[in-house]
Amino acid sequence: MFSLSSTVQPQVTVPLSHLINAFQSPKTTFISLSASVSQNHHRDAVPEREAPSSEAVVNLRDLGLSELKVGQIDQLVDSLLPGFCKGKNVSSHWHTSHVSAQSFFENKYGYLDMFGTLRSSCLYRQHSRTLKSICSDLQYWPVFIQARSFKTLKSRTRRLQSTSERLAETQHIAPSFVKGFLLRDRGTDVESLDKLMKTKNIPEAHQDAFKTGFAEGFLKAQALTQKTNVRFRTTTGLDSAVDPVQMKNVTFEHVKGVEEAKQELQEVVEFLKNPQKFTVLGGKLPKGILLVGPPGTGKTLLARAVAGEADVPFYYASGSEFDEMFVGVGASRIRNLFREAKANAPCVIFIDELDSVGGKRIESPMHPYSRQTINQLLAEMDGFKPNEGVIIIGATNFPEALDNALIRPGRFDMQVTVPRPDVKGRTEILKWYLNKIKFDQSVDPEIIARGTVGFSGAELENLVNQAALKAAVDGKEMVTMKELEFSKDKILMGPERRSVEIDNKNKTITAYHESGHAIIAYYTKDAMPINKATIMPRGPTLGHVSLLPENDRWNETRAQLLAQMDVSMGGRVAEELIFGTDHITTGASSDFDNATKIAKRMVTRFGMSEKLGVMTYSDTGKLSPETQSAIEQEIRILLRDSYERAKHILKTHAKEHKNLAEALLTYETLDAKEIQIVLEGKKLEVR
């Protein structure tokens, strides 16, 4: 559909086929013009041509183009609708042309950049308002609408379907599409079609022909897009197919290290297996379950496992897919999804990234439709009874960003936390993925688990996969601890950049800088144990010292936070003591960011400042200038004291500092054991 603002009609909605006819058969247009209006005032009559059947046509007068001459119309049609010129061999993808076209656009799409041509034509100057509106409407021509449907794993048959079958299927959708229009489906487009027919007072007898004409125009456009295999697909968004993704093969057995979450979802599985039993017993299940946790902790996997355990269809949709640039598409997709799901109950609907649908939408005149999608979701959730056998599972990393309407009772009123796994969960996950590859018996998942505090399930899976890749690249038969350590370092410190040539001077500065961090960590009681120190450039850094807590830290003490700040100061303090204040480098910037962030949280969040007490300050931007400067003063004092403590430690252990820097220059990377040997003044074996 196009809405054209023309000189004659303020706003006319024109079906594609009629726009094409209007341009393609100037004579018919003029005839109908003369037939339908009293007298035509044409400067030059157009040659007689058979008018098509009694199909109503839009005429150029409506488009404000009636005073165009035939030649001009043809020129306009040529430039505007090259794909519809009869008998003209429009260059398209399929014509092998070895001469590149005038414009990138034509090279890429096979036809002229009609808008550019049109705008450059002299017609444009004469009829700029009308043609401008045609251009602005035409860019919404279905060919340019990039549409996405639901992200579902197509069943095997659909994936293997040949293109022709798929095309036939589209034809299949098309008749139902037309039926929908003719049977006055609720689609908004029908209203505008009805409105148009009323404003155009098209006689009753012609109305169906008019609609068929519209549908034919749509199908032509669709066939065109399919034929030219453009990257864009036309879909009204109303008929995007939503297939359940049968996830029989995923069960709770596949999800490790989240026992509590699995228990909470067990009763949902029981309900889906036998909704009647729950109804008879009068049990009421939540309609919506919200899985909350950091990325990669297994929320999607858990939702699939619920459907797999209960052996019911699983409808996957990602919240961001509902956010379409065209108003109303998101809401219609939600309507579609729930309609399909209800028809296939019992089943699971999973909405990933729920915060991108149900995020706190500020209603503003700028975005009058921003709530349309979430309102549709709320309406759908209210639209069915709890025991109808449809369970909606939402997942989010940011629960605080969700609109409160979504999480009130009767909607997503059950919340299940899916945390990062603890050392026991990490060991289970590592064992699960190690069993999928060949690994050496000397591999101890416990040790790896202890050295990967804070890793999510996805990161642990990645660690095992990276180790397998490394072993394969090195031509090994199986994965050993060495490959697992290598991939852990890669995830922790970034990939090695062996190709980077660092001159000796910079290498020496890096060696003393990193040793500075390591010395403070080693000699500060509440600091985290050292895992590794390296002067091999990794990721964005020239060197790195990785520390790892001995076990999962559920919270941190003041002493531990101060220790972390001191370790961060170690790099710059080392540069100052060894090379002098004139030769300190920019390499400590991220260290200071880290220390400042800790100090700020201590003062504004954790109530660890004597002067400011336990009040928390969430949005420092809104505070009085006095309070802001008091906060800054406290942060400054914490940082200064930390710097002095670090300086004291490095002055006290200057010898160990030198030994460690020299060992790093010799061996490049040292693990915790080797660092200990050096700091105890012993000799390292030659590698």
Q: Which stretches of the chain bind Zn ion, using CB under 5 A?
A: 571, 591
H runs (alpha helix) in 274-317: 275-281, 299-310
| C-alpha–C-alpha distance, residues 550 and 552, integer Å | 7
CB nearer ligand ATP, residue 294 or residue 410: 294
CB nearer ligand ATP, residue 84 or residue 432: 432
Binder of residue 300, out of Zn ion, ligand ATP, none (CB less than 5 to 8 A by kind) = ligand ATP
Per-residue contact string for residues 506-535; x = within reach of ligand ATP by CB under 6 A: ------------------------------
Smallest distance, Å, CB 395 to ligand ATP?
5
Helix (H, G, I), strand (E, B) or coil at 280: helix
Binder of residue 214, out of Zn ion, ligand ATP, none (CB less than 5 to 8 A by kind) = none
Exposed e or buried b for every residue in 152-189, given b needs 16+ CB within 10 A? beeeeeeeeeeeeeeeeebeebbeebbebbeeeeebeb
Structure tokens at 653: 């252990």
Helix or strand (DSSP H, E) at 218: helix 204-227
Binder of residue 352, out of Zn ion, ligand ATP, none (CB less than 5 to 8 A by kind) = ligand ATP
Query: In terms of DSSP bridges, do strands 669-671 and 530-534 run parallel, antiparallel, or are they unpaired?
Result: antiparallel
Binder of residue 571, out of ligand ATP, Zn ion, none (CB less than 5 to 8 A by kind) = Zn ion
CB nearer Zn ion, residue 289 or residue 518: 518
Smallest distance, Å, CB 258 to ligand ATP?
5
Binder of residue 110, out of Zn ion, ligand ATP, none (CB less than 5 to 8 A by kind) = none
Residue 376 and residue 330 in contact, taking contact as beta carbons nearer than 8 Å: yes
Asked if 394 touches ligand ATP (CB under 6 A), the answer is no
**Site residues (CB under 6 A) for ligand ATP, limited to 245-274:** 255-258
Binder of residue 591, out of Zn ion, ligand ATP, none (CB less than 5 to 8 A by kind) = Zn ion
| C-alpha–C-alpha distance, residues 73 and 88, integer Å | 16
State the amino acid at position 288 in one-letter form: G
**Site residues (CB under 6 A) for ligand ATP, limited to 277-316:** 293, 295-301
* Closest by Cα among 191, 424, 403, 410 to 285: 410
Smallest distance, Å, CB 433 to ligand ATP?
7
Residue 635 and residue 599 in contact, taking contact as beta carbons nearer than 8 Å: yes
| HEC secondary structure over 472-489 | HHCCCCCECHHHHHHHHH
Binder of residue 544, out of Zn ion, ligand ATP, none (CB less than 5 to 8 A by kind) = none
Smallest distance, Å, CB 570 to Zn ion?
7
Residue selected from 242, 429, 663, 675 as contacting ligand ATP according to rule CB under 6 A: 429
Per-residue contact string for residues 581-620; x = within reach of ligand ATP by CB under 6 A: ----------------------------------------
Q: Which of 353, 514, 575, 674 is catalytic?
A: 514
- Complete edge-to-edge strand list for the sheet that includes strand 314-318: 314-318, 347-352, 390-396, 288-292, 414-417
DSSP 8-state class, residue 548: -
**Site residues (CB under 6 A) for ligand ATP, limited to 641-660:** none
- Got the DSSP string for 570-622? HHHHHHHHHH-GGG--GGGHHHHHHHHHHHHHHHHTS--BTTTBT---S-GGG
260 given a catalytic annotation = no
Count of CB atoms situated within 10 Å of the CB of 317: 22
**Site residues (CB under 6 A) for ligand ATP, limited to 448-467:** 457-458, 461
Exposed e or buried b for every residue in 293-307, given b needs 16+ CB within 10 A? beebbbbbbbbbbbb
CB nearer ligand ATP, residue 301 or residue 448: 301
Smallest distance, Å, CB 647 to Zn ion?
15
CB nearer ligand ATP, residue 458 or residue 630: 458
Spatial neighbors of 604 by CB under 8 A, at least 6 apart, are: 616, 617, 618, 620, 631
CB nearer ligand ATP, residue 328 or residue 419: 419
Which residue is nearest to Zn ion, using beta carbons? Answer: 571
Which residue is nearest to ligand ATP, using beta carbons? Answer: 457
Residues annotated as catalytic (active site), given as ranges: 514
Residues of this chain that interact with ligand ATP (CB under 6 A) are: 255-258, 293, 295-301, 352, 395, 397, 429, 432, 457-458, 461
